[in-house]
Chain A
Amino acid sequence: MKLKKTMRAFALLTAVTLFMTSCGSDEASVGTGDCESVDSVTLQLQWFAQAQFAGYYAAEDGGIYDNYCLDVTIMEGGVDIVPQQQLASGAADFAISWVPKVLVSLEEGMNLVNVAQVFQRSGTLQVSWADSGINEPADMAGKTVGNWGWGNEFELLAGAHRAGLDPATDFNLVGQGFDMLGLLSGEMDAVQAMIYNEYAQVLEAINPDTGELYTADDMTVIDWNDVGTAMLNDAIWADGDRLASDDAYADITTRFVAASLEGWAHCRDHADECVEFVLNNGSALGASHQTWQMNEINALIWPSEGGVGMIDADLWAQTVDVATAEGILAAAPGDGAYTNEYAEAANDILDGKGISTTGSDWTRATVTLNEGGE
Chain B
Amino acid sequence: MKSAKVTRVFFTVVFVIFFLVLLWEGYKWMGQQTDDQWPGTNFGLPVATNDTIMPHFVDVVGELTAEIRDGQSSMPMYAFLLKKAWFTFQEAAIGFILGLTIGMGLAVLMSRWKVSERGLLPWINVSQTIPLIALAPVVVTWGRNQGLPDLFSISLISTYLTFFPVAVSGLRGLQSPDAAHVELMHSYAASWRTTLFKLRLPAARPYLFPALKLAGSLSIVGAIVGEISIGRKTGLGRAILEYALRYAIFPERLYASVIGAAFLGLMVFGMINLAERFFMRRTREVAS
Contacts and interface: CB of A to CB of B under 8 A. Distances in A.
Nearest to A89: B141
B136 interface: yes
Interface stretch (B23-31, B200-208, B229-237): B229-237
Contacts of A371: 249
A201 B181 CA distance: 68
Interface of B: 52, 69-72, 133, 136-137, 140-141, 144-145, 227-233, 238-239, 241-250
Contact of B137 (A76, A81, A201, A279): A81
A287 B74 CA distance: 13
Contact of A179 (B133, B140, B231, B248): B248
A285 B230 contact: no
B233 A49 contact: yes
Contacts of B71: 279-282
Nearest to A184: B248
A79 B241 CA distance: 9
B139 to A, nearest CB: 10
Q: Which of the listed residues A77, A91, A281, A373 has the most CB atoms from chain B within 10 Å of its own CB?
A: A91
B141 A201 contact: no
Nearest to A42: B144
A201 B249 contact: yes
A134 interface: no
A205 interface: yes
Given A179-B245, A184-B248, A201-B248, A76 B233 contact: yes
B248 A284 contact: no
B242 A205 contact: no
Given A204-B249, A284-B246, 13 more contacts: A78-B228, A79-B231, A81-B230, A86-B141, A179-B246, A184-B52, A185-B52, A282-B71, A284-B239, A285-B242, A287-B69, A372-B246, A372-B249
B80 to A, nearest CB: 10
Given A81-B137, A179-B247, A204-B249, A284 B242 contact: yes
Interface in A271-286: 279-282, 284-286
A78 B229 contact: yes
Contacts of A185: 52, 248
A250 to B, nearest CB: 22
B250 A86 contact: no
Interface string A251-286: 000000000000000000000000000011110111
15 contacts: A47-B231, A78-B227, A79-B133, A79-B231, A81-B230, A82-B137, A86-B141, A91-B144, A91-B145, A177-B244, A178-B245, A181-B52, A181-B248, A205-B249, A287-B69
Main SS at interface, chain B: helix
Secondary structure of the A side of the interface? loop
A90 interface: yes
A115 interface: no
Contacts of A49: 233
A86 B231 contact: no
Given A280-B72, A282-B70, A284-B239, A80 B137 contact: yes
Contacts of B232: 76, 78
A180 B140 contact: no
A284 B249 contact: no
Contacts of A152: none
A85 interface: yes
A79 B229 contact: yes
Contact of B242 (A48, A177, A181, A280): A48
A373 B249 contact: yes
A285 B145 contact: no
Given A177-B245, A280-B71, A284-B243, A80 B52 contact: no
A184 B251 CA distance: 13
Given A279-B69, A282-B70, A48 B231 contact: yes
Most buried by B among A86, A181, A286, A372: A181
A137 B71 CA distance: 41
Contacts of A47: 231
- Quick one: which of A49, A92, A185, A282 has the most chain B CB within 10 A? A282
A151 to B, nearest CB: 16
Contacts of B249: 201, 204-205, 371-373
Nearest to B227: A78
Q: Which of B70, B238, B247, B248 has the most CB of A within 10 A?
A: B248
B248 A78 contact: no
A286 B231 CA distance: 19
Contacts of B243: 284
A222 B71 CA distance: 35
